[in-house]
Structure 1
Amino acid sequence: MALGVFGGAVALFSLAAMPFDDRTLLGDSVWSKPFKFGFAFFAYALSLAWLLSHMTRLRRTGWAVGTVFAVVGAVDFAVVVAAAAAGTFSHFNGSDTVLNQVVQFAFDFVPVLFLTNAAIGILVLFQRIGDRAVTTVIRWGLLLSSLGMVSAFFILAVGGEGERTRLDANGDEVPLSGGHGVGDPDGSGMFLTGWSTTGGDLRVSHFIGLHGIQVLIGVAMLLSLLAARRAWLGDDRVRGAVVRWFAVGYLGVFATTVWQAVRGQSFIAPDSATIAGFAASVLAAAVGIAVTAARARRTADRPH
C-alpha cells in the first residue's frame, strides 16, 4: 500500500512538473520516466496489496514475499526519480558519476521483483481466493505480469546498438549502452509513453503484460455487475471461464507485441502479419467466450 501511494504521489507531481520544467532527455521531459514508473507502481502495488490481503493460506509467507517486492520496488523507483531530478539518464547510463553508480547498483536487484512476483504466483496456485472468477483473474494476472517483467529484461538482449554518447538535460555528454528501441535505439517517442515511433519497442509489451491483472480485475467486476441482470452469469464457473478466455486473447495480444517489437516494427505501424496476430488473438477470445455463453444460456434455460 505504501509503495502504491508513493508511486501515485510521484506520478501526480511529475505530471504537474512537466509544464514548469523545460529540461528534456532525448526530446522527452525529464519527468516523463518518473511519471510512467509512478503510475505503474501505483496500479500494480495496490493490486498486489489487494491480492495478498485476500490470501486464505500461507498468509505470512505471502506477506514476507510481498514486503521484499515493495522494498526492492521502492529502491528501484527512488533511483529513477533521483536521476530524473538530476537531469540525467537512469537506464543504459555508462558514466562513472557517484549518482549513476548508485543507480546501476540498485538496478542489479531488479530481477528480485520478477522472482518475488513469480513466487506469489506459485503461492496462489495452491489456493482459491474468492470465487472462481477472482481466482482466475489472480492466476492469469500474475502470469501476465511476470511475462511483462521478463519482456523488460529482454530489452537488454535485443535493444540498442552498442556504445554511443548523448547529451543529458545539463548539456553533459553521457555514454549510453543499449536502448529501449529495436532498430532505432533512441528513436522518436510517442507523447507521454515515449514508445518508439521509428522502431520496435518492448516497453509496449512490458506495459501490456504488467497491467494485465488490472484489466482482468475490471472484466471480473463487469461480469459481477452483469450477473444481476443475466441469469447465466450467476454461476461463478461461467464467469471464471469468460475471464479465462479473455485472458487467452490478452496473452495473444501480448505475444504479438513482443513479436512486433523484436522485428524492429513500431507499435503504431503494424504490418499485415502483426495485424493478423492481433486479429487471431481477438478471434480466439471471442469464440471461446461465445461458446461459453451459449452453453451457459442453455443450462440456465433448462427447467429445474
Structure 2
Amino acid sequence: MSSWRSWHRPLVMFSASMVLLAAVSAVGLVVDDRVLVGSPIWAKPFKFSVSLIAYGLSLAWMLSLLDRGRRAGWWAGTVVALTLLVEMVIITGQVVRGKRSHFNHQTPFDEALFNVMAVSIVTLWLATLGIAVLLLRARFADRASAWAMRCGITLALAGAAIGFRMTQPTPDQVRDSSIVGAHSVGVPDGGPSMPLTGWSTTGGDLRIPHFFGMHALQVLPLLLMGLLALAPRFTRLADERVRLRLVLVAAGAYAAVFALLAWQALRGQPLIHPDGATLAATALIVAATAAGAYGVLRSAPATAAQDTAVNNPDDTNDTKELVA
C-alpha cells in the first residue's frame, strides 16, 4: 500500500475541490428551493461531487502503484482531473443560472457549454482508457490486487460509455432541437423518481448502469482489501490464488449485474419494478456467483492451512475454515 503522499497530486487536489463543492451544494439544497427537471436544482452538483471524490481518489491511488509508464500515467491522470474540473465548473455555473447543463441546446451559449462538456467527457474517457492500458501492463507483487484494479477500471470505462448513449435524441426530440438526449428511457426526464438518487420509477434510467459501472473502480479493490483483512482468520484466504479467483468471480458477477441493469434500463423498465425476465436473470447471476465462490473455496489447496499451522502453531486452534 503506497503512502497517500505519493498519490497523483492533481487528482487529489481535484477530489479536495469536490469535497468543497459537495459542502456548497449541500447548503444549496437547504437554502435554494428552485427545482429543475423535477429535482432540487443543487442535487446534480451534490451527487456528482460526492461520486467524483471517490473516483478521483481511486485513480490517484492506482497511478501511484505503477512500476513503469509513470510519466504517461501522470499526464493521463492530469487530463482526467482537468476534464472533470471543466465538467463540474459548467454544471455548477448552469445551476447558478437556473439552466440545464446536460442535453441543453436552448440557446447558442447553452449549446456551446454542452458541446464543451461533450468534448471533455470524450477526452476523459480516452485518458482513463490510457490508465487502464498502463494498469494492464504493470507488474504487481499481488496478482489479486492487480486484477481487482484492472477489472475495476475496465468496468468503470464501460459504465462511463453509457453516458454516450444518453446524448442520443429520443423519438420525441427529433422534432424539438432545444433538448437533445435524456437519462430516462420510455418516459420524459423529470417524472416520478426515487429519493436521493433521482432515478426514474416509471421508466428505464440509464444513470443506473452508468453509476454502477463507474463505481466498480472502488468496489472491487475494496472487496480485495476485505479478503486481505479476513486472511488471518480464514486460512483459505491466505492463499493468493484463492483471493485472485474470488476477485475474478466477483468481477464476473459485477459485469453481469452491470449488463443486466443496462438491459433493464434500455427496455424502459424501472429498477424497482422488474419483470419476470429481469428476476430470472438476477437469480441466474446469484446462483452462478454463489457456485463460483463455493467452487473456489472448496477446491482451495489444503497446503494453505498446513503452512499456516506450521508457521503459526499457537494460532492453530483459533483458525477457521470458510468451507468445511
TM-score (norm 2): 0.86
Q: Partner of 1:181 in structure 2?
A: 184
SS class of match (2:124) = helix
SS class of match (2:168) = helix
The one-letter amino acid of 2:287's match is: L
After the TM superposition, which of the residue ranges 5-14 and 190-199 deviates more from structure 2? 5-14
Q: CA deviation at 1:105?
A: 2.4
Q: Partner of 1:228 in structure 2?
A: 232
Q: Partner of 2:194 in structure 1?
A: 190
Q: Partner of 1:154 in structure 2?
A: 165
Q: Partner of 1:286 in structure 2?
A: 290
CA distance in 2, matches of 1:298, 1:4: 44
CA distance in 2, matches of 1:185, 1:22: 22
Q: CA deviation at 1:113?
A: 1.2
CA distance in 2, matches of 1:45, 1:273: 36
CA distance in 1, matches of 2:54, 2:282: 25
Q: 1:13 aligns with which of 5, 10, 24?
A: 24
The residue correspondences of 1:86-235 to structure 2 (distance < 5 A) are 86-96=97-107, 98=109, 100-157=111-168, 161-162=172-173, 175-186=178-189, 187-235=191-239
Is it true that 1:34 corresponds to 2:37 in the alignment? no
Change (3 A) 1:158 1:300: farther
Q: 2:96 aligns with which of 80, 85, 106?
A: 85
- Contact 2:125/2:160, CA 8 A, preserved across alignment: yes
Change (3 A) 1:98 1:157: closer
Larger radius of gyration: 2
Structure 2: unaligned runs, 5 residues or longer: 1-11, 311-324
Q: Partner of 2:319 in structure 1?
A: none
Change (3 A) 1:111 1:198: same
- Contact 1:160/1:185, CA 8 A, preserved across alignment: no
- Contact 1:181/1:201, CA 8 A, preserved across alignment: yes
Q: CA deviation at 1:300?
A: 3.0
Change (3 A) 1:25 1:42: same
Richer in helix (by share): 2
- Which digits, 9 at most, give the CA deviation of each residue in 1:231-283, with x for residues without a partner? 11112221111111011101110000000011000111111111122222222
CA distance in 2, matches of 1:207, 1:277: 20
The one-letter amino acid of 1:250's match is: Y
Query: Identity of aligned pairs, percent?
Result: 39
Q: CA deviation at 1:21?
A: 0.6
SS class of match (2:179) = strand
Aligned length: 296
- Contact 1:248/1:281, CA 8 A, preserved across alignment: no
Is it true that 1:246 corresponds to 2:257 in the alignment? no
Q: CA deviation at 1:84?
A: 1.1
CA distance in 1, matches of 2:22, 2:175: 30
Q: Partner of 2:318 in structure 1?
A: none
